[in-house]
Amino acid sequence: MTDQPRELRLYERLLFGTTIDQVPKLIPGVVLASVVVLVSAGLAEFVNNALGFDGLVSFILVAIVLGMVIRNTVGLADIFAPGVAFTLKKLLRLGIILLGIRLSLLDVAKIGVFGIPIVVGAVLTGLAVARVATKRLGLSDRLGTLIAVGTGICGATAIVATAPGIRAKEEEVAYAVANITIFGIAAMLLYPFLGNFIFGGDIVNTGMFLGTSIHETAQVAGAGLIYDQSFDVTAVPSVADIAVVGKLVRNALMVLVIPGVTFLHARLARREGELPAEGTRILDMVPVFILGFLAMAAIRSIGDAAIDSGSLAFGIFNAEAWSDVTHGIRTWAEYTLATAMAGVGLGTSIKQLKGLGFKPFMVGITAAVAVGVVSVGLVSVFGPQISL
């Protein structure tokens, strides 16, 4: 199907996240991730029932750990690799888009506006600390820049977007991504419980803490779901909702920060007699799923407004039917994200991470801890201003 019109292939990617001819290759990996989710749900329910505490063990947490166990014991056959990658990239974004139905645009605006100073502080901390630590340890400026944008902004996405503009080597990109993977997964598993301890169960503060301190969007979503399940959060917005909005604000800063980092690196290269490489296009730095998330929030707002005025949502759904529709979409969002979290575990190879080296490890942990500390401080100041 390589001779398909370009427009048709674009429609396929928009509808399915890939072209139809690639679907058969994706099925084994997607099925494997789905089976991991189902088994994890059963295991979590069994443990919770045995201990007598409903929700004590999150099935999302079990899915991540079980995926990692499978990957690092029996291994992941090549036939599963494309599908697992698909869950990490496409299903994750779909889940985040669908998650937008849980919030109104007003909720998004409140969280986003008051979250901006928290996000900016965390991003600047990540950039500054990683750069300073890199110089102190004698690592390349390029590697320090990649770890900085990965820690401060958007994990591997920011690293890949920055790499061409600073002429980063493949080894440096691999080191930076491995660094982000290690500390991001550690934060995803630990921060939900740390946040609950620090903020005493406050949903808004904990959500902003997770959204501004954890590296990858997938890790933030996973941490939020782990918190909601572990502490039986039924409120809307939940910790996962707030965390994702906070993370999307960070993602949006890529459009400003990455061109700035590239420009500064180019100036340094000129001083050293080197020619700067071609930068990354602005469009490549815009996380499109942010727009999808906002679109779903807009749909929720329009439907709710119609119901509140005594009309039918979109001229079709009465109050009960509209509630069923939004609840169904929320459920699909959670299961879609759960499958992506299983993909996170299945895609994490400890063997590949062992080659990271001590110095990059120190840069990563220093930056991660600094961002976490600053996030706690700023959330304590600005979090109470967010009234939902």
- The answer to whether residue 174 scores a pLDDT higher than 50 is yes
pLDDT confidence bin for 55, thresholds 50/70/90: low
Nearest Cα residue to 68 out of 189, 205, 237: 189
**How much is the average pLDDT of 86-108?**
82
Is the peptide bond preceding residue 164 cis, with omega within 30 degrees of 0?
A: no
pLDDT tens by residue, 232-271: 888 888 999 999 888 888 877 776 777 777 777 666 655 5
pLDDT at 1: 44
Residues 84, 96: Cα–Cα separation, whole Å: 17
Residues 72, 96: Cα–Cα separation, whole Å: 28
Query: Which has more pLDDT, 113 or 279?
Result: 113
Angle (deg, nearest 10), helices 23-51 and 59-72: 120
Of the listed ranges 131-145, 212-226, 322-336, the one predicted with least confidence = 131-145
Phi, psi at 313, each rounded to 5° = -65, 120
pLDDT confidence bin for 198, thresholds 50/70/90: very high
Residue 135: how many CB atoms within 10 A of its CB?
Answer: 12
Q: Which amino acid is at 331?
A: T
Count of helix runs (H) and strand runs (E) in the chain: 17, 0
Of the listed ranges 76-80, 98-102, 356-360, the one predicted with least confidence = 356-360
Angle (deg, nearest 10), helices 239-252 and 203-213: 40
Angle (deg, nearest 10), helices 105-136 and 239-252: 60
pLDDT tens by residue, 247-257: 888 877 776 77
In the chain, the largest separation of any two C-alpha atoms, in whole Å, equals: 69
Residue 2: how many CB atoms within 10 A of its CB?
Answer: 6
- The answer to whether residue 115 scores a pLDDT higher than 70 is yes
User: Rounded to two decimals, what is the model's pTM?
Assistant: 0.76
For the chain, percent of residues with pLDDT exceeding 90 = 19
Q: If you average pLDDT over every residue of the chain, what do you get?
A: 80
Residues 244, 232: Cα–Cα separation, whole Å: 18
Residue 260: how many CB atoms within 10 A of its CB?
Answer: 10
Contact 329, 101 (CB under 8 A): yes
Residues 107, 246: Cα–Cα separation, whole Å: 12
Query: Which has more pLDDT, 57 or 191?
Result: 191
Contact 110, 326 (CB under 8 A): no
pLDDT confidence bin for 138, thresholds 50/70/90: confident
Contact 122, 218 (CB under 8 A): no
Phi, psi at 312, each rounded to 5° = -90, 140
